[in-house]
Amino acid sequence: MTEHFQLYGRRHGRPLRRHRSELLETLLPVVRLERPEPGSRLELDPLFTSPVEAVWLEVGFGGGEHLAAQAVANPGVGIIGCEPFINGVAGLLGHIEREELAGRVRVLADDARFLIDALPDASIGRAFVLFADPWPKKRHWERRFIGPANLDRLARVLKDGAELRLASDDPGLVTWMLDHTWHHPAFEWLARKAEDWRTRPADWPQTRYEQKALEAGRRPVFLRFMRRER
Ligand SMILES: C[S@@+](CC[C@H](N)C(=O)[O-])C[C@H]1O[C@@H](n2cnc3c(N)ncnc32)[C@H](O)[C@@H]1O
């Protein structure tokens, strides 16, 4: 039986500015991935029109600033971003246009689980889930993206030694993510001292949610895990 995915959160926000709407018509068809059929496998090589040596994945890229900055800083990398919030997708398209990233960035405007389930085993060099929705009420905890089922999904598609990067400014979600990822046999936490999770590494661009958290006086936490050898 095919698992039913319930997506929580908004797909649409405020009306888009004209150029952003135009990008949804003109650029999205160039970079978009269709939602893979259940049980299908996606071949990564033909996805990109620029040469790439590695493929990274960002789940819930929001406005796309982190994804775009990573693509600019890592010219040999192709990045697949998944984001069902269409205003966020339009934001990323603006970055793709300005930074000329259309050859190396692909977008699924949908739930990341559809994409991850179609990825080949051990195909992803790095994955990011940054400032995921915290779902603070206990009855909503099962909605949190990082949990046993999605960690299994990520463990399957990450290469041995690949990094999984998580961040949050919500202490409850931080504890939850640490607890689940720490106890998952595929992942090793890379922090050796408090400074490692308190400070954002230099190769980790800031996201809009991190900026909002800092402005509100909250302290974000940055978690780096390594996918252990199979
Ligand atoms: C709190 S926002 C953070 C956005 C961005 N990462 C940042 O730090 O600014 C969380 C994002 O995750 C997206 N999201 C939630 N569930 C998702 C899923 N199953 N697949 C992909 N994206 C998802 C939401 O649409 C939302 O844009």
Task: State which residues form the domain around 47.
Answer: 18-227
Residue 96 lies in a domain: yes
Closest residue to atom 11 of ligand 1, CA basis: 60
Nearest of 145, 167, 141, 142 to residue 154 by alpha carbon:
145
Q: Is residue 215 part of a domain?
A: yes
Nearest CA to ligand 1 atom 19: 111
Domain-embedded: residue 109 = yes
Q: Is 88 in the pocket of ligand 1 (CB under 6 A)?
A: yes
pLDDT one-digit tens code per residue, 88-127: 999 999 999 999 999 999 999 999 999 999 999 999 999 9
Work out whether strand 124-130 and strand 54-59 pair parallel, antiparallel, or are unpaired: parallel
Spatial CA neighbour of 144 closest among 127, 155, 128, 132: 132
pLDDT tens, 130-142? 999 999 999 999 9
For 50, the token pair is: 């620029």
Higher pLDDT residue, 16 or 144?
144
Residue 1 resides in a domain: no
Half-sphere exposure of 181 toward its Cβ, with a 13 Å CA cutoff? Answer: 28
Orientation of helix 18-26 relative to helix 86-99, angle to 10°: 80
* 162 φ/ψ sector (left φ>0, alpha ψ -120 to 50, else beta): beta
pLDDT in tens, 57-97: 999 999 999 999 999 999 999 999 999 999 999 999 999 99
Closest CA to 165 of 60, 78, 71: 60
User: Does residue 10 form part of some domain?
Assistant: no
Rounded to the nearest whole angstrom, what is the distance from the C-alpha of residue 141 to the centroid of ligand 1?
A: 15
CATH of the domain at 79: 3.40.50.150
- Establish if 108 belongs to a structural domain: yes
pLDDT at 159: 98
The answer to the question of residue 2 being in a domain is: no
Q: Which atom of ligand 1 is nearest to 65's Cα? A: 9
pLDDT in tens, 171-222: 999 999 999 999 999 999 999 999 999 999 999 999 999 999 999 999 999 9
Joined together, the tokens standing for residue 5 give 């995915």
**What mean pLDDT is reported for the chain?**
96
Q: Which pLDDT value is given to residue 7?
A: 84
- Asked if the structure places residue 150 within a domain, the reply is yes
Query: Is the predicted pLDDT of residue 1 greater than 50, yes or no?
Result: no
Q: Which residue has the higher pLDDT, 6 or 230?
A: 230
* Count of domains for the chain: 1
